[in-house]
Structure 1
Amino acid sequence: MNTESPIAHHPSAPAWFNKALAVPFEDKTVMVEGCPIHYLHWERPGKPGLLLVHGGGAHAHWWTFLAPFFTDHYSVAALDMSGAGDSGRREAYSAELFSAELMGVCADAGFDDKPIIVGHSFGGFVTLNTGTLFGDRLTGVVLVDSPVRPPDYQWQHQRNRAPVRPKKIYPDFETALARFRLMPPQECDSDYVIDYIGRHSVTEADGGWTWKFDDQLFRKFRFGDMTEALKSLQCRVGVIYGDRSQLFTQDIADYMFEVLDSSVPFVAIPEADHHLFIDQPLPFVAALRALLAEWRHSRPNRGG
């Protein structure tokens, strides 16, 4: 079993944060299509499965301080997809391989009875693709600030930033940690969260320290138009986004709502940008818990 120590040098960390990090979990690894996939598991035998999926350049520990809020009703896992965190790297990446990783973790964690998958940003697109491929084996998917854009979307309205920048080598751990930034950039008042995530983002390398993610991933892989995937979902789906997100605008929310149907909940988290569960972690937890509670006590109108 593993637990995280409270971040002593950030006395502003609230009690709920340190309490969540003190909840034990297990580090596990499963082989999926020849690649070791690492994940964290807050096992609750007999409870249905809930899988949490990180965004681009991120890792499983973005969820460590949130996962314990869901263990009353779920056995929870958070994975490192290939090319991220403590999982292996691939020569080539594909949407099908990422989806196989999600389902491989679900199987290894014992999530046999239609788990729910929650994905943030890039992880939301992987989650969406997994719902189209394996929807009959899932209760539902939740897309967290994962904007499915119209085919004619005007990209000049978005900031021209690569999802993952080339990595640098830093001389020591503290120098690397000091360079940790959210991408896309946004302000964040929760220094204790940034410090915690940053400490799990770096690793030793030849000549110093660098980031864990594979900076070649997005040179080898791209998602295409996701509209057809959104239309074809047969399992339940929910959408949570930041109402200040520069990626998930109201026009995109309106478009996705039109592609889906009135049975799909859309929840905007107030005062939250793209990294909404860093901006507003407890409002995010409340929104996701409410959505999951509704799914537990209602019959699906679509798929499921």
Structure 2
Amino acid sequence: MNPVEAGATSQPAHPELSAPPWQPAPASALPHEVRVDGVPIRYGVSGSGGRDVLLVHGYRAHHMWWYRLLPALEERWRVIRLDLSGHGDSGHRDRYDVDVWIAELLAVLDAAGSAQALLVGHSMGGRIATVAAAEHPDRFGGLVLLDSMLRPRGSTSLRTGTLPPGRQLVYPSRAAAAARFRLRPPQPRTPAEVIRPVAEYSVCRAANADGWTWKFDQRGIPPIDNDRVVDSLTHMPVPLWFVRAGRSLVVTDEVAAYARTALPAASTFITLPDADHHFVLDAADDCDRLLADLHGDLAASIRPHGRTAP
């Protein structure tokens, strides 16, 4: 199993994603940039809430995974979202690891003027967030993991697809590239109109080629050190919610059973029974109810925006 968030496919183009021409949605714009070790990291801030939430996307994904949740989030929180390096409109690196991604989270918080935030991560983003919250509890007052893989110490790292250096998948047009987009693992119940904004944001002009390609770094992005994630859970200093999709192909029944034993005793474990791995895209009603409960449970653990620690 390879729990990839998105990517190219050899299947025929999806006819419902081939037209009409792309028009950027307001949620697709990340207007701000901060440099971390010389690499530009794009981020955005929205919402009128008194407390901050930082959203961390998954592998080969980008901030548009959250676009359907933004209206509900913005009513309660000041929402900070970003594209991690190697993803979306942020720059690429010669080397990726959890430490550099955590440095990006902290740099974005600093640039956004956030002293402390609720940290929410989907899939791989949740694994990054787990280490970040454990090692920087002064910056994160709570942690929410959305269908993130948890495996016992010593487990073999999951392999990821790569292309040789200098190679990239190239398509003749933006529409042709977007039509090749698929959610991974497969999620056939998600309507094409829901996927379209995510697919269209996922492509860009190809470098050194005539055509369009994927924004994520096609040379490959390594998996997160699983043992470090597990170790972080054992001494997690902040409140933690773990939300599992009942139909997930990532957090299977076996993974969920292990997660229940690995999470700190005071954690909140929730299953959305009819949801798939990418439920942040297509289970809007369930997510809205979840976000309301989450705010009521965790907001008190987050310092209000602009307030420093006593």
**C-alpha separation in 2, matches of 1:298 and 1:93:** 31
Instruction: Specify every segment of 5 or more residues in structure 2 that has no aligned partner in the other structure, as ranges.
Output: 1-15, 18-24, 303-310
Give the equivalent residue in structure 1 for 2:151.
Answer: 149
Cα deviations by residue, 1:40-78 (Å, 9 ceiling, x for unpaired): 22153x721111111101111111221221122211011
- The letter of the residue matching 1:223 is D
Partner of 1:302 in structure 2? none
What is the match of residue 250 of structure 1? 253
1:63 aligns with 2:57: no
Return the offset for 1:247. Answer: 1.3
Contact 2:280–2:287 (Cα < 8 Å) also in 1: yes
Q: Is the 8 A contact 2:56 2:63 kept in 1?
A: yes
2:43 aligns with: 39
The code of the aligned residue for 1:88 comes to: G
Residue 290 (structure 2) aligns with: 287
The answer to whether the Cα contact below 8 Å between 1:119 and 1:126 also exists between their aligned partners in 2 is yes
Report 1:130-279 matches (<5 A).
130-151=132-153, 162-164=159-161, 166=163, 167-205=168-206, 206-218=209-221, 220=222, 222-225=224-227, 226-279=229-282
CA distance in 1, matches of 2:275, 2:201: 23
Please give the secondary structure, in 1, of the residue aligned with 2:185: coil
Greater RCO, CA 8 A, separation 6+: 2
Number of aligned pairs?
273
Task: Tell me, yes or no, if the aligned pair for 1:23 and 1:68 is still in contact at 8 Å.
Answer: no
Q: In structure 2, do the counterparts of structure 1 residues 43 and 283 end up closer, same or farther at CA, with 3 Å as the change threshold?
A: closer
Give the partner amino acid of 1:30: V
In the alignment, the residues of structure 2 paired with residue 22 and residue 279 of structure 1 have an alpha-carbon distance, to the nearest angstrom, of 19
Q: Distance in 2 between matches of 1:72 and 1:265?
A: 23
CA distance in 1, matches of 2:210, 2:111: 36
Does the Cα contact within 8 Å between 1:56 and 1:121 map onto a contact in 2? Answer: yes
Residue 11 of structure 2 is matched in structure 1 by none
Q: Say whether the 8 Å CA contact 2:44–2:81 is kept in structure 1.
A: yes
* Partners of 1:88 and 1:154 in 2: CA distance: 29
TM-score normalised by length of structure 2: 0.80
> Alignment partner for residue 27 of structure 1, among 10, 28, 31?
31
Structure-1-length-normalised TM-score: 0.82
CA RMSD of aligned residues (A): 2.5
Distance in 2, Cα, partners of 1:25 & 1:172: 21
Task: Give the deviation of 1:181 after TM superposition.
Answer: 0.4
Q: 1:27 to 1:298 in 2, by over 3 A?
A: closer
Q: Which residue of 2 aligns with 1:3?
A: none
Worse-superposed segment, 246-255 or 73-82: 246-255
Q: Percent identity?
A: 33
Q: Which runs of no fewer than 5 residues in structure 1 stay unpaired?
A: 1-8, 11-20, 156-160, 300-304
Shift of the 174–291 alpha-carbon distance from structure 1 to 2, 3 Å rule, reads same
